[in-house]
Amino acid sequence: MERAIVIRRATLPAQHRVVWRRAAVLGVLTLALAALASSKALHSALIEVLAASEDLIAGHAIYGMLLFVLLAAFSAMLAFMSVAVILPVAVFAWGSVATAALLWIGWLLGGACSYAIGRYVGRGMVKWLIAGNAFHRLENHLGPGSPFGLVLLLQFALPSEIPGYVLGLVRYSFLKYLLALSLAELLFAAAMVSLGAGFIEQRTGAVLGFGIVLVLFGLAAFYRLRNRLS
């Protein structure tokens, strides 16, 4: 038991770096969107660019949606990818509801693929995919019988590319994992799309509000997870 606690505490510095880096990226994105939304000249120029590309997007609607779903899926599997930067384009072209649905489907697809890689490809691939941090040591804390509440907290607390690989590796129930993933990503998809819609509608306060809530929620979930594992 004492050895397990030591292992858990040893992983925390790497966890802090990754979680705080995610929070910093989201914070910078929020501030950038808020700054652009608060400038009438810049916002108008960007909206004109989006409007000019609307015909092109509409003419290839199916392919555009498929590409967006694939980008969302890859962003759920790879730490260096993010679909957040093109959310305003998607919201402008398809509206908030459709964009949230596509984003959610893409994230579920990416999560399912990461789970399959963890379960069927094995530890070597997982360690390569998430190299540079200690999250792969979560396999020491998780197993097939892990409580659903802990797995759901894991989804809220950690970057989306981590839980699927680890839970697949420890052979956690795929259906339970998919349920936890669905609940967590539904919340994040709604929040991220609201952030993009706030920018389109030039509601600076809404952009800042949603961004701050997302950052604080993610940090709070991480520290709750840390305390639970400790």
- Please write the tens of the pLDDT for every residue from 54-112: 666 767 778 888 988 998 888 888 765 677 778 888 888 888 899 999 999 999 999 99
Q: How far apart are CA 206 and CA 211, in angstroms?
A: 8
**CA contacts within 13 A on the Cβ side of 228:** 18
| Residue in this structure with the two tokens 């997870």, named with its chain if needed | 225
Coil, helix or strand for 25?
helix
CA 171 to chain centre: 22
**C-beta neighbour count of 90 within 10 angstroms:** 24
CA 150 to chain centre: 18
For the chain, the structural domain boundaries read 2-229
- Please write the tens of the pLDDT for every residue from 143-194: 888 899 999 998 998 887 788 888 988 899 999 999 999 999 999 999 889 8
Q: How confident is the model at residue 135 (pLDDT cuts 50, 70, 90)?
A: low
Q: How far apart are CA 95 and CA 99, in angstroms?
A: 6
**Element holding 161 (H helix, E strand):** helix 161-169
